[in-house]
Chain A
Amino acid sequence: MTEGRTGLRLKVFAALVAFMFAALTTRLWFLQVLAADQFRDEARRNAVRLLDIPAQRGRILDDNGNLLVKNRLSLVVTVNKQEAGSHLEDELYRLSNLLGVPAEELAARVEDPRYYVFQPVPVEADVGKRIDFYISEHQRQFPGVTVIQEPVRVYPEGSLAAHVLGYLGQISSEQLDDPAFAGYRPGDEVGVTGVEATYERFLRGTEGVVKYRVNSAGQNLDQFGEQQPVRGQDVVLTIDIKAQRIAEESLNLGLQYAHGIYDSDTGRDLQASGGAVVVMDPVTGGIKALASAPSFDPSLFVRSMSSDEYERRFGAAKSYPLLDRAIQGLYPPGSTYKPFVLLSALRRGIVSTTDYYPCPPAWAVPEDPLHEVFHNWTTANLGSITLAQSLYDSCDTVFYPIGYEYWRRYYPPTEPPVEQIQRDLQAFGFGRHTDVDLPFEQQGRVPDAEWKSTIHKQYPKSFPDGQWFPGDFVNMSIGQGDTLVTPLQLAAAYSAIQNGGRACPPHVFDRAQEADGQVLRSWHARCHRIPFLQAQIEYVRQALTQVPLQGTAVSAFIGFPFSEVEVAGKTGTAQVFGQQDYSWFAAMTQAQGRQYVVVALVEQGGHGSSTAAPIVRRIIEGLYGLTNTQFTAGGETD
């Protein structure tokens, strides 16, 4: 049957088959020639697994090379599911008995999706040596179970400088999305606060990696590449553990001491619910000690914690010990603000160092129809006094008219508004971040008309007034009203007075170095001059030297060897609505070729002279190796 019609039909049939071949060839061309590179990449990703070897985290040292944070090896029980195989369930029950952890809990940990099938999963950390021995002696009952040693953070000085050091925690999902954390994976430990967070990039080191070839079941076939981890760099701080210790001790003693002081304003003993101390080198901006009370034990963060325990340890009942009051606490500065207000007034020609000014017990804004009276802290009339005396006696009624003068210059408002005092205060660093190298710093507040109207619109209940009044300037002149500072801002501003008008950003970082001490990076000071006459700054500094000698802090410094150590300072008693007064003292010292600025704040600690000044005195004594004096009943002077 070779007739033409069959031949034709077979040709149709052949055409159909040819069409099949054409389709296959076209597709092959696309897959193997056009898209080959992409598929080759995918095949590589399919067949290779990367396993990280964590790098040892760098240590943290103080100024003199004392260890503040190091690593210790912790015994960790790990389970390899692939090796355990079908015995896994029995094995977890045996482990449960051994470790005292419920078997369901262990089973949940073993299924942690962060680990590959062939990778050992850590199920319990910090177990005793006994468990290690037991498991290795009964290894047959525990196929795939290994006890390994893993580094964890350890704090040789306990809770010392806990707020500065910070602690580690699991990386958050926000951080994982952040390009700054490229290369991190879920479950990685990362610095959460303090130096651990700021200098994460130095401390972390570089993870090593092992390349495994795996098959489709994820089973490890062989290892074909390895890159050793690079240990993290050590971070050396400007913190001095001796200074830090004396600061923390003095603060805690001061708080205890304050608890026994009767506060006549409220009719109760002082609450002294918390406090902060900053010790700073005014020349470099290096922070020698940074204390915040109450404090916490950073080693608690080595293991996980339930939210109940977290609340119990770090909640309101414990006055939020995790809060670093030195950089995150916002307080009205009270009279400690006066030197800066005065320098502004001198700069703007409102007052003169050669003139005398009345210091009456009270003062009222002229032509104020309500005739609101602003009182001095004392009811005595000090008569006509110099500006220097207005500082060391902390005369409020000299400062009120200065505040009013700013109002006269401001009102009627012009465009741009004349807000001279705000600008000058900002030049000292108030109302803006000090850019200290610690996370979550608060920027404080230098209020102005614009701020007041904005905040009123946002929170009309808490801020019932949206308008800027003469009283706002008057309050600002004595560091009250809506003014807020952090203890560190105040320390940085006093540093600028002490060093003659240079503002240096405060910092705790000194250098990053290798384990053998080879320095890799050092702190670059970025100091700048502030726009105040050096003579006026020196006038203010000299005035402040009289504060412990004959001014408001005289009672706290009785018997202090001023011939050995020069101390200038300023007390502050800040009023906080509904609470006892907040006690401030800021000091500048100079002796033995060393300068310090020491600022202490005690929440609800009463007068500056009664609580904060004795704390600062004790710290100064410690810093210069003087004999520590007992806390004395400070006077109730400002």
Chain B
Amino acid sequence: MDVVATKLYRWERRPLRHLDPVLLISVLALGIVGLVTIYSATHASLVAQEIDPGFFLKKQLAFVTLGIVVILVAASFDYRFIKVYAGIIYVASLALLVLVRTPLGTTIRGSQRWFQLFGFQLAPSELAKLALVAMLAAFLSQLRSSDLSLPDLYRATAIAAVPGFLVFLQPDLGTSIVLMAILVGILVVAGARARHLGVLALTAIVLIFGALQLGLVKDYQIARLTAFFDPQNDPQRSDYNRTQAEIAIGSGGLLGRGYLKGTQTNLDFVPEQHTDFIFTVIGEEFGFTGAIFVLMLFALLIWRAIRIALLAKDPFGTYLAAGVASLLAIQMFVNVGMTLGIMPITGIPLPFVSYGGSSFLTNCAAVGLLLNIHMRRLT
């Protein structure tokens, strides 16, 4: 190999040459969809309160900008460092989850999940998602055999169960579900046997049943869940959100009612419509066409994540990418499914679209990791 060829080869392999433009475009597109819909969801009530109608739009724009920085930062260093520090990150995230239960944490709407820091709300459960992805990837990539043994499966489950349980206590059922989905996603890719996964599911069912029996689940969570399973028989009216969300999406029809013209949205009938229920705005104002477009963006994003898992040069990268793919897919599915009435209401934001910094930046970091793995697949 001559010098020029070697240089060319090296140049060819430089990480910056291997950004994934499709991945970036899909994330950016979702972010823009978010900005557009957040404005629609919030301008009317802001005007009513005589506040700048672009208030939330501007804040989200700042988050998007910050998110791009986060993506770049997360892609800049070699992701294999994460494997080295995975243990420390994991333990630190657990410590924060414990700490948030102390008076240092802030309670918002009956749920103690945040640290108030320099005017920002920091949710350790967001960090826990990434930490779990990293820890599981690190743990599983060290194993020698290509198939996963049952004891290892239990170890991996234990790794996920600790933060899962801490988050569940906050209470934050949604994030618990996300953490468990990350576990299942990575386990599938790591070669867990279907039979073992079945045993795991059975154990989970027993534990959930136990939790209900011991009163660990708050009443409102049970009410929401029973409303989901039996919407007709609901004395608490806890299916109000669900009904209003369905009306909003259903009334959108094939082409939607037009931007800023959704009555469900503009007249505040759907609760939390710029955060958890943002998809109802898309459904109402842009219709089936708009909703499918947004789902296609997510499909694109997750396809790229799976592709990166396939292309990764080491098992750690594969598991890391698979974990991120699980993270994004489950959040998207639970959130959209909730607005469509096929999943319980759990309070999970729609990645990149819902208003809010914490979740947006976490997801950007995750995408940054994907990019990181993709860029360094050849070095």
Chain A residues with a Cβ under 8 A of chain B = 1-3, 5-7, 9-10, 12-14, 16-17, 20-21, 23-25, 27-29, 31-33, 35-36, 38-40, 42-44, 46-47, 213-217, 221
Which residues of B sit under 8 angstroms from A27, Cβ to Cβ?
Answer: 337, 340-342
Interchain residue pairs with CB less than 8 A apart (10): A1-B312, A13-B188, A13-B325, A20-B333, A24-B340, A28-B283, A39-B247, A40-B253, A47-B269, A215-B269
Interface residue B53 (Cβ < 8 Å from any Cβ of A): no
Interface residue B239 (Cβ < 8 Å from any Cβ of A): no
Find the B residue at minimum CB distance from A45: B247
- Kindly provide the distance from the CB of A219 to the nearest chain B CB, expressed in whole angstroms: 8
- The interface bits of chain B over 165-178 (1 if a CB of A lies within 8 angstroms of the residue's CB, else 0) are 00000000000000
The docked-state distance in angstroms from the alpha carbon of A383 to that of B292 is: 109
B254:A44 contact, CB within 8 angstroms: no
Interface residue B214 (Cβ < 8 Å from any Cβ of A): no
Q: Beyond A5-B146, A25-B295, is A46–B264 a contact (Cβ under 8 Å)?
A: yes
Interface residue B57 (Cβ < 8 Å from any Cβ of A): no
Contact of B283 among A7, A13, A32 (CB under 8 A): A32
Contact of B269 among A6, A23, A33, A216 (CB under 8 A): A216
> Given A31-B283, A216-B268, list of 14 further CB < 8 A pairs?
A9-B190, A10-B309, A10-B310, A13-B189, A24-B337, A24-B340, A25-B292, A27-B340, A39-B249, A39-B251, A44-B263, A46-B267, A47-B267, A213-B263
B252:A36 contact, CB within 8 angstroms: yes
Which residues of B sit under 8 angstroms from A7, Cβ to Cβ?
Answer: 310
Q: Which stretch of B78-86, B95-103, B129-137, B313-321 is in the interface?
A: B313-321
Find the B residue at minimum CB distance from A28: B291
B292:A28 contact, CB within 8 angstroms: yes
- Kindly provide the distance from the CB of A173 to the nearest chain B CB, expressed in whole angstroms: 24
B342:A23 contact, CB within 8 angstroms: yes
- Kindly provide the distance from the CB of A131 to the nearest chain B CB, expressed in whole angstroms: 34
Which residues of B sit under 8 angstroms from A9, Cβ to Cβ?
Answer: 188-191
The docked-state distance in angstroms from the alpha carbon of A7 to that of B263 is: 47
Which residues of B sit under 8 angstroms from A33, Cβ to Cβ?
Answer: 253-254, 288
The docked-state distance in angstroms from the alpha carbon of A7 to that of B311 is: 9
The docked-state distance in angstroms from the alpha carbon of A216 to that of B264 is: 9
Which residues of A sit under 8 angstroms from B288, Cβ to Cβ?
Answer: 28-29, 32-33
Q: Beyond A1-B315, A28-B340, is A21–B251 a contact (Cβ under 8 Å)?
A: no
- Kindly provide the distance from the CB of B79 to the nearest chain A CB, expressed in whole angstroms: 14
Which residues of A sit under 8 angstroms from B370, Cβ to Cβ?
Answer: none
B337:A23 contact, CB within 8 angstroms: yes
A42:B247 contact, CB within 8 angstroms: yes
Find the A residue at minimum CB distance from B290: A32
A6:B252 contact, CB within 8 angstroms: no
Find the B residue at minimum CB distance from A42: B247
Interface residue B299 (Cβ < 8 Å from any Cβ of A): yes
A16:B253 contact, CB within 8 angstroms: no
B75-127 interface with A by 8 A CB criterion? none
B246:A32 contact, CB within 8 angstroms: no
Which residues of A sit under 8 angstroms from B311, Cβ to Cβ?
Answer: 2
Q: Beyond A24-B340, A47-B263, A215-B268, is A39–B188 a contact (Cβ under 8 Å)?
A: no
A39:B246 contact, CB within 8 angstroms: yes
Q: Beyond A9-B189, A10-B310, A23-B342, is A36–B267 a contact (Cβ under 8 Å)?
A: no
The docked-state distance in angstroms from the alpha carbon of A35 to that of B340 is: 13
The docked-state distance in angstroms from the alpha carbon of A29 to that of B288 is: 7
- The interface bits of chain B over 234-277 (1 if a CB of A lies within 8 angstroms of the residue's CB, else 0) are 00000000001011111111100000000110011100000000
Interface residue B306 (Cβ < 8 Å from any Cβ of A): yes
- Kindly provide the distance from the CB of B256 to the nearest chain A CB, expressed in whole angstroms: 9
- Kindly provide the distance from the CB of B271 to the nearest chain A CB, expressed in whole angstroms: 8
B267:A215 contact, CB within 8 angstroms: yes
Query: Most chain-B CB neighbours within 10 Å: which of A10, A16, A21, A32?
Result: A32
Interface residue B336 (Cβ < 8 Å from any Cβ of A): yes
B340:A31 contact, CB within 8 angstroms: yes
- Kindly provide the distance from the CB of A261 to the nearest chain B CB, expressed in whole angstroms: 70
Query: Most chain-A CB neighbours within 10 Å: which of B291, B315, B317?
Result: B291
**10 pairs of A and B residues whose beta carbons are closest in the complex:** A39-B250, A43-B251, A36-B253, A47-B263, A32-B288, A215-B267, A20-B333, A31-B250, A40-B251, A39-B251
Which residues of A sit under 8 angstroms from B314, Cβ to Cβ?
Answer: 1
B191:A5 contact, CB within 8 angstroms: yes
B295:A21 contact, CB within 8 angstroms: yes
Interface residue B302 (Cβ < 8 Å from any Cβ of A): yes
Find the A residue at minimum CB distance from B249: A31
Q: Beyond A1-B313, A24-B340, is A47–B287 a contact (Cβ under 8 Å)?
A: no
The docked-state distance in angstroms from the alpha carbon of A214 to that of B253 is: 22
Q: Beyond A17-B302, A35-B250, is A24–B325 a contact (Cβ under 8 Å)?
A: no
The docked-state distance in angstroms from the alpha carbon of A24 to that of B292 is: 9
Which residues of A sit under 8 angstroms from B333, Cβ to Cβ?
Answer: 20, 23-24
Find the B residue at minimum CB distance from A44: B263
Contact of B329 among A17, A32, A43, A213 (CB under 8 A): A17
Interface residue B185 (Cβ < 8 Å from any Cβ of A): yes
Interface residue B345 (Cβ < 8 Å from any Cβ of A): no
The docked-state distance in angstroms from the alpha carbon of A419 to that of B89 is: 108
Find the A residue at minimum CB distance from B342: A27
B251:A42 contact, CB within 8 angstroms: yes
